[in-house]
Structure 1
């Protein structure tokens, strides 16, 4: 009998506790897991090793048999008001779209909101494009999570790198530092 955990979704050759896979994660992600105050959530997180060439959501889900309803995307948004720009992260299930122009803009009290440029997202998070995850973001950033993602039994999110993903209970997303579940963030 193997003491390796089983993935609750998808088909992966390699599944292990995320805390045991720190070397496979982006440094901010590994640090966030190790220091997460919700230690039971950190313990529940799994790491699945995957092909970085298949990291884009649709290809990934098809390749590994993960329903779009169980895959969550984390995007970085730049919200502007009065010459000030605030970066925020938004998380929603892959079969939905984050409502940046209305829900995010209104929630952040911004005059204008748009997806942050790729270079900004990569530089500010310390993560790879295509692997950005809500675990390990700058603590001062708002972390807006669509309620549907929080209600999902399990969600698959990035690991901070294009290679590999994390699987954790949807409810754990709401326990991340600075996280706020927002109704209607995505549709």
Structure 2
């Protein structure tokens, strides 16, 4: 794995062959972390219902993760009108999947693996699940997901391309250089390819 340097000086892990990455207007950090393909392998978890709209349920997820010193690192809207939120740190990789049942009823499930993806961490799953439920009861009338620390992920390496998600500045993600100069490729939680704006820099080359 080659560390990737972004504009803010933070480090991002990526499958980058002998190069580093300097992002434009964004910064991701470090090694390992929340990786889409790991999230896809997580075992099924129990669905929990929240009697509220999707946008408020998403706000509850963000607040719960922040209360546990996590955060939503990558957010992808699903084709069914829900969301997949990835989170993690050096020890854990996890996801929260939200599904819209009715306009005022949302379900969610939490999935967590220990670093390396070899074992499921049910204790953390339960803690996040419970805290999301608790936070949902404390939301103000105008509560919503806070996008201030996020940049856009595009369907194609083009600023005019459709938005397919968001990534948090400073988060841990796995990327590789795209074929279009100045862009990075990422695999989204549902398995499709997407792109972040960035450029290659040779200034922080390191050995695996």
State the TM-score bracket (shorter-chain normalisation). under 0.3
Bigger-Rg structure (1/2):
2
- Which one has a larger percent helix, Structure 1 or Structure 2? 1
